[in-house]
């Protein structure tokens, strides 16, 4: 027997136990005694496999687990006996609840394990779940593409044509919908690339338009600021004009005549200061100009005696 242990250790990499342990002290009761009496490989250690919690697909998880154990020289008996180490507490409770000596091999354990957890695990999405995905009016194109890509990664056995049809059907953006209809992509990768390129160009245009509007608003704000400043200056000039005493440059002979044209309440004080100054200057130039009535004379309009008599400022009869 000792020579057999040495042979197995040399050629198969197994460590021989010097004495078998009691079945009550080692292994799970659902396993038959033969299955629990195993030879463990030298340096046996499983790495890279997450603990099973009952949510993942059992077939996929067992496939990964079995490949990892066989990679470190484990046979089917080792795979079966090491399985409880890779299960969380609730799954181990299920395993312990099986009938005693009901598992005779790894095939038996694999079958009962798959049948139990296939019904309770999280099922993958289907193409029908993908067809339920619709872009909302407030959802950006990039967000919809990202959500579609995440879901399609969990949909097994879906063709490119089915994925493209589902994406086009759920798309709210009409321009991209028309573009994909005119030049339909043939693969999912081409679909995602075309959609992302369109989304990038659309957002770039929106950013440029936003910048243009910002400059336009800044210009309007600047113009409004200058208008407000000019309005304040005009108001200041008007208040200054109201406070200053009125100096009438008109001669006494014209003062009564001019009064008929003034508005009640001395409304001339409300005239814009700039217009009033222009008016006073033009009137003064008119009085200093040559008399339009006596063209051959050399006196000014202000010096004209006939004009004064006509306006009532001086009597036509000599005393």
pLDDT in tens, 51-78: 999 999 999 999 999 999 999 999 999 9
Three-state secondary structure call for residue 193: helix
Mean pLDDT lowest among 8-22, 132-146, 175-189, 192-206 = 8-22
Domain check: are 114 and 9 in the same one? Answer: yes
Residue 229 maps to a domain: no
Give whole-number Cα distances, 25 to 6, 21, 80, 215, 216, in Å.
26, 7, 17, 82, 85
163 and 259 co-located in one domain: no
User: Residue 106, Cβ neighbours under 10 Å: how many?
Assistant: 19
- The H-or-E segment that residue 189 falls in is helix 188-243
- Among the listed residues 166, 208, 213, 161, the one whose alpha carbon sits nearest the alpha carbon of residue 187: 161
Token reading at 247: 């100096």
CA–CA distances in Å: residue 253 to residues 164, 256, 263, 279, 303: 98, 7, 20, 19, 11
Q: Could you list the residue range(s) of the whole structural domain that residue 82 is in?
A: 2-118
Based on the domain organization, do 51 and 102 belong to the same domain?
A: yes
Contact 130, 153 (CB under 8 A): no
Cα 191 from Cα 169, distance rounded (Å): 13
Q: Which residues partner with 52 through β-bridges?
A: 87
Average pLDDT in the 88-111 region? 94
Q: Does residue 94 sit within a domain?
A: yes
98: left (phi over 0), alpha (psi -120 to 50) or beta: beta
pLDDT band at 206; cut points 50, 70, 90: low
142 belongs to a structural domain = yes
pTM above 0.75, yes or no: no
User: Which residue, 85, 118, 151, sits at the end of a domain?
Assistant: 118
Confidence of residue 235 (pLDDT cuts 50, 70, 90): low
Residue 234 lies in a domain: no
Residue 99 lies in a domain: yes
For the chain, give the mean pLDDT.
75
Say how many domains are in the chain: 3
Whether residues 50 and 152 fall in one domain? no
Domain match, 87 and 157 both:
no
Biggest CA pair distance of the chain: 171
Residues 179 and 198 sit within 8 Å (Cβ to Cβ): yes
Does the residue 136 lie in any domain? yes
Give the separation between CA 35 and CA 29, rounded to whole angstroms: 10
| 200: in domain | yes
Neighbours of 141 (CB within 10 A): 19
| 94 and 141 co-located in one domain | no
Statement to judge: residues 206 and 267 lie in one domain: no
Residue-wise pLDDT tens digits, 136-161: 888 888 898 898 888 888 888 889 99
Let me know whether 264 and 297 are in one domain: yes
Average pLDDT over residues 241-269: 51
CATH number for the domain harbouring residue 164: 1.10.1200
> Is 241 inside a domain boundary?
no
Q: Are residues 194 and 282 in the same domain?
A: no
Final residue in a domain of this structure, among 67, 85, 118: 118
Distance CA 77, CA 38 (A): 7
* In a shared domain, residues 24 and 100: yes
Q: Are residues 67 and 134 in the same domain?
A: no
**Residue after which a domain boundary falls, among 219, 240, 260:** 219
Same domain flag for 170 and 112: no
């Amino acid at each position: 027997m000792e020579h057999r242990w040495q042979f197995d250790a040399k050629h198969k990499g197994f460590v021989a136990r010097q004495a078998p342990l009691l079945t009550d002290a080692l292994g799970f009761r659902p396993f038959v005694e033969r299955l629990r009496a195993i030879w463990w490989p030298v340096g046996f250690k499983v790495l890279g496999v997450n603990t099973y919690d009952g949510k993942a697909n059992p077939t996929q998880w067992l496939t990964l687990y079995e490949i990892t154990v066989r990679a470190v020289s484990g046979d089917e008996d080792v795979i079966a006996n090491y399985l409880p180490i890779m299960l969380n507490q609730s799954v181990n409770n299920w395993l312990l609840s099986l009938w005693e000596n009901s598992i005779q091999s790894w095939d038996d354990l694999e079958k009962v394990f798959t049948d139990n957890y296939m019904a309770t695990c999280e099922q993958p999405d289907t193409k029908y779940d993908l067809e339920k995905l619709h872009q909302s009016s407030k959802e950006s194109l990039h967000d919809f593409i990202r959500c579609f890509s995440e879901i399609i990664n969990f949909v097994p056995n879906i063709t490119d044509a089915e994925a493209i049809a589902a994406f086009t059907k759920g798309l709210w953006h009409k321009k991209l919908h028309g573009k994909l209809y005119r030049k339909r992509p043939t693969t999912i990768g081409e679909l995602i690339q075309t959609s992302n390129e369109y989304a990038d160009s659309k957002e770039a245009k929106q950013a440029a338009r936003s910048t243009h509007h910002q400059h336009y608003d800044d210009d309007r704000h600047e113009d409004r600021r200058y208008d407000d400043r000019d309005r304040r200056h005009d108001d200041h000039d008007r208040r200054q004009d109201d406070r200053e005493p009125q100096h009438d440059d008109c001669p006494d002979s014209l003062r009564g005549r001019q009064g008929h044209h003034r508005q009640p309440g001395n409304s001339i004080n409300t005239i814009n200061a700039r217009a009033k100054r222009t008016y006073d200057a033009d009137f003064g130039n008119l009085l200093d100009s040559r008399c339009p009535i006596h063209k051959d004379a050399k006196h000014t309009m202000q010096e004209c005696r006939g004009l004064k008599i006509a306006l009532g400022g001086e009597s036509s009869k000599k005393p």
